[in-house]
Amino acid sequence: MKTKHLGLVFFFLALTTCLTAQTETAAEDKTHGYFSMSFLKGQKGGIFSGGSFEDIGAGILFSGHFTPQLQFRLEVRSRSEARFGLEEALLGLDLSKSANIQVGMYLVPFGRYNRQNRPQENMLVRIPLVVEAAYPLSWRDIGLLVTGQTSFLNYAAALGNGLGEGPNQEPAQQFSDNNASKGLAGRLGILWGKDVETAFSYASQIFSSQSDRRVELWAADASWITENYRLSGEFIRTTYDPAGGGAGLRTEGWHVQLAFDYKTLWPIVSYQTVKTAPTASEVPARKNRWALGVSWILQPGILFKVEYDWNREPGHEVKDDLLSVQAAISF
């Protein structure tokens, strides 16, 4: 992180500490931290064939209130083994349960996975294939975020800078606007009792510096979560305009996961598939994955995961099966 960015973080922390100490809502303020590390072992002749410790991750989250209506949220998270950056930095006006207006940096409200992508929030180790292909990992933006909930609906809508243009002229993460157009994103969830939710998401982003190329994303997700089992799935489709014009390029796929409680263990099975068309003239490439694993909750806040992935690409012989072991701690 650059020095000036680090200085802003410390200034924000000092400000929140001073102000929250003077409010009656200080008891509601929270500080959370998390840490994770993985070990990966691949097939002979493939990636990680010798085994490797990877994915060191850590973060800290501060949230609370300056006043009963004015709230804040600040999260700093490691982006690699040697760099930290902002995950979220938000000031919010809590008007009611059905309307919360926030400004700053936020995780884009699209799909199920993006806003719950931290290691302690997931039973599996690896990122779903379609999520990797559809949008930047931990997709964030700077702008306006509005959220709310009623008796059977929850929603989130965002207006921000939008995605930018990557080195290969693809949609990519950015934090300053490269054109005059703003990015839109939103998710609408329907609650069917206390255990079942279905949701739909949409995002539209003009990402080229000339404002002549757009990416559109659609998603539908569903979950059925109880104390004894968790069933969830998500479908994502992404279409964007290629450089030089022509037909739109598409990525689409889905993932589904079932986990059930066996004492302190959660056995898990997952199937994932994604189809991508790198250029308009190429035959779409497909990847499939079966994943089996188990998550062991040693005690609240300590999660130990083991996962084995069978990765396949129809029409190609790949040596990409992978064993992943991860420890995830939150406090």
Helix (H, G, I), strand (E, B) or coil at 227: coil
DSSP calls for 266-285 = EEEEEEEEEEE-SSTTSPPE
Where in the chain are the domains?
Answer: 3-330
Return the pLDDT at 26.
44
Q: Supply φ then ψ for residue 120, to 5 degrees.
A: -75, -10
Return the pLDDT at 316.
78
CA trace torsion 29, 81, 106, 90 (10° rounding): 40
Identify the band that residue 242 occupies on the pLDDT scale cut at 50, 70 and 90.
confident
pLDDT at residue 149 greater than cutoff 70: yes
Return the pLDDT at 61.
95
- Work out the average pLDDT over 46-66: 90
- Work out the average pLDDT over 244-258: 84
CA trace torsion 129, 131, 134, 140 (10° rounding): -150
The fraction of the chain above a pLDDT of 70, given in percent, is: 88
Return the pLDDT at 27.
45
Per DSSP, the chain holds a count of helices (H) and strands (E) of 2, 18
pLDDT at residue 202 greater than cutoff 70: yes
d(CA 225, CA 262): 15
Say which residue, 2 or 315, is predicted with more confidence.
315
d(CA 151, CA 157): 18
Helix (H, G, I), strand (E, B) or coil at 195: coil
Mean pLDDT of the residues in the chain:
87
Return the pLDDT at 6.
45
Burial 248-283 (b: 16+ CB within 10 A, else e): ebebbbbbbbbbeeeeeebebebebbbbbbeeeeee
- Work out the average pLDDT over 241-257: 81
Which residue, 63, 72, 77, is CA-closest to 90?
Answer: 72
Identify the band that residue 281 occupies on the pLDDT scale cut at 50, 70 and 90.
low
Return the pLDDT at 22.
43
Which residue, 51, 73, 189, 60, is CA-closest to 120?
Answer: 60
pLDDT at residue 120 greater than cutoff 70: yes
pLDDT at residue 312 greater than cutoff 60: yes
- Assess contact for 284 and 305: CB atoms under 8 A: no
pTM: 0.86
**152-192: per-residue pLDDT in tens?**
999 999 999 999 988 888 889 998 888 988 999 999 999 99
**69-111: per-residue pLDDT in tens?**
999 999 999 876 778 899 999 999 998 888 999 999 999 999 9
pLDDT at residue 288 greater than cutoff 60: yes
- Which residues lie below 8 Å from residue 268, measured CB to CB, with a gap of 6+? 123, 124, 257, 258, 259, 291, 292, 293, 294, 295, 307
- Assess contact for 62 and 86: CB atoms under 8 A: no
- Assess contact for 242 and 280: CB atoms under 8 A: yes
Write out the two tokens for 330. 């939150």
HSE value, Cβ hemisphere, 13 Å, CA-based, for 106? 27
- Assess contact for 197 and 222: CB atoms under 8 A: yes
Identify the band that residue 263 occupies on the pLDDT scale cut at 50, 70 and 90.
confident
Fold adopted by 3-330: Porin (2.40.160)
pLDDT at residue 122 greater than cutoff 80: yes
The alpha carbon of 273 is separated from its chain's Cα centroid by a whole number of angstroms, namely 18
Helix (H, G, I), strand (E, B) or coil at 54: strand
